[in-house]
Structure 1
Amino acid sequence: MEIVERIKKIEEIIQEIEKREIFSIYGGNLPFFSYLFACIFKFLNSNTLVILPDEKTAEIFYSDILNFTDENVIFFPEYERVESEISEINFERVKAILQINENKKSTVVTYFPAVIKKVPPFEKFRKIEIRKGQKIRRDNFIDLLVKCGYDVEKEVVEIPGTFTTRGGIVDFFPPFSEFPLRVEFLGNYINSIRKFDVSSQSSFEKIEKVYVSPLSEFFAGEATEKFFSQVDGISFVVNVEKYLKKGNKISETINEIIENSIIVGENIDSFKKGKIFFFNVFPTVERFKIGDDFIWNC
């Protein structure tokens, strides 16, 4: 009976979402919410944005939800302030925006500090296709790499976000590629594109095309837009109270996010609005006492 009631409640939540109603979900915990959202996302035909209170909680949620769904789930981390503007974390932010731009249904998992900073308009994050046989001057291709944020190396390419040249060959390492790439020019045409090994510097596989994109938001343009407003879909805010308990204040941006999101929390709080769906979820310790046959009680 409890399972039937739980399924019925999830169906009602989906109906409320499809009607674009703003409501609240309470009584769960993080593992349950990851399961619940995986169920919800499966039946929605729109993007979903899940905002958690902090990085650690967001990473746990992201890891949990991947166990329940094979849908397109994207993690969006907080911007890392470094002198060069280039870092692995900033690569991940760009990668997330590029994935969102592909217009595939996706679930974006993030946290408040990551969405506060404004970003360039999503349309500025373009993937420029470079194809074998394409007409392009070697110098123009180098200019493209520089504008996207690639650093030139004097000798060999070993780390992502760098390139080097020798004669009609340009080696570069896209941050989203497992291997660096070697582009060989013949006159003003691309003669070949090959993967190569970092340690031996030997090429081993030809490919037909590659994409070049900005390495960080800095190289995509001026940060004028709110990340939240550019993700077209349904947004959920999880455990706002935990964010505030750490001494954080509600800024204008966060208040706008809360006002336009479905509120989700372990306990009913002052942010509740609209219809409330309540789940009575046993603590993990209690669930182990009961066994595998009974997990959540609605």
Structure 2
Amino acid sequence: AGRFYKDLDFFLSNQNNKGVFLFPSYDISPLTGLSPPKELISQRIETLYSLSTSPDPVVVTSLEALMTRLLPKEILLTSVDYIAVNEEIDRDDMIKRLMTFGYFRTSLVEERGDFSVRGGVIDLYPPLYDSAVRVEFWGDTVESIRLFNPVNQRSKADVKELTILPANEIILDPPSIKRARSMGRLPAGLETGGGFPGQEAWIQHFYSHLDTIFNYLPKGGHICIVKSDNFTDKAGSILEKLNKETGRFQDEALEKGI
């Protein structure tokens, strides 16, 4: 899927088409207790948002990613913040929202999903942007919004507004945390945000229902299957692999008394 996406993006970019997106599958099973790279998670969220809001998006994905259950579309679209220069915003509320959206607080923003706070300055690296973003406050007023290079921290350009997407597919708001706690044990301290390693395996605990990528398709959207001759066999292999992993990790959990 990745190679096909690069080829398609190359040819369509020559036609001034910016609406080609890749929806990757997790490169690691959530059952391992580890989370996928933040860059990969960010790319998935950006693609889901673009599929829901962009005109005529083209999305390339794999069968494995198609079979993944996702956060509900309505939850994603209601978990988007928009801020603009000269807008009045409670700085502390913004920090809480970033934590709820799965951003990781650090001293220096270097990776997707990071954010830092230094006095009246909030740096963050959200989906949708090729650069990190610096939001400067004067009191509760947004004085400026700047793109900057996370490697050398140098400013690149000023922008008038900013769209802040979640940095994770699990939105850690109070209703979601309450629901997850009622369905099983979760690590302490989730109320402070930030998430925990391997939380993707618990996604069904946080929402009343889950969607697939088909729920994000716009009306009248078209589906094109490449190499459809082995589609069913490949799906069966993916399910068989998942069932084996599930059984193995359940056995390991029983041995550890979990």
Deviates more, 1:211-220 or 1:158-167: 211-220
Q: Relative contact order, CA 8 A, sep 6+: which one is greater?
A: 1
1:130 alignment counterpart: 83
Structure 1 residues not aligned, in runs of 5+:
1-57, 252-298
Aligned pair count? 193
In the TM superposition, residue 103 of structure 1 has moved relative to its aligned partner by 4.1
Cα distance in 2 between the residues matched to 1:172 and 1:100: 23
In the TM superposition, residue 94 of structure 1 has moved relative to its aligned partner by 0.7
Cα distance in 2 between the residues matched to 1:167 and 1:85: 31
Distance 1:215 1:63, change over 3 A: same
Confirm or deny: 8 A CA contact 1:85 1:218 kept in the other structure.
no
The residue type equivalent to 2:161 in the other structure is K
Confirm or deny: 8 A CA contact 1:150 1:162 kept in the other structure.
yes
Match of 2:60 among 101, 109, 116: 109
Indicate the SS of the match to 1:237.
coil
2:217 alignment counterpart: 231
Deviates more, 1:81-90 or 1:144-153: 81-90
Tell me the TM-score normalized by structure 1.
Answer: 0.57
Cα distance in 2 between the residues matched to 1:204 and 1:249: 47
Structure with a larger share of its residues in strand: 1
Task: Name which one, 1 or 2, has greater alpha-carbon Rg.
Answer: 1
Cα distance in 1 between the residues matched to 2:10 and 2:117: 44
CA RMSD of aligned residues (A): 2.7
1:208 alignment counterpart: 160
Among the aligned pairs, what percent are the same residue?
A: 28
The residue type equivalent to 1:226 in the other structure is T
1:254 alignment counterpart: none
Q: Deviations over 1:226-254 (max 9, x none)?
A: 22243132223332333455583597xxx
The equivalences for 1:171-190 within 5 A come to: 171-190=123-142
Distance 1:84 1:112, change over 3 A: closer
The residue type equivalent to 1:239 in the other structure is K
Distance 1:159 1:226, change over 3 A: closer
Cα distance in 1 between the residues matched to 2:130 and 2:21: 19
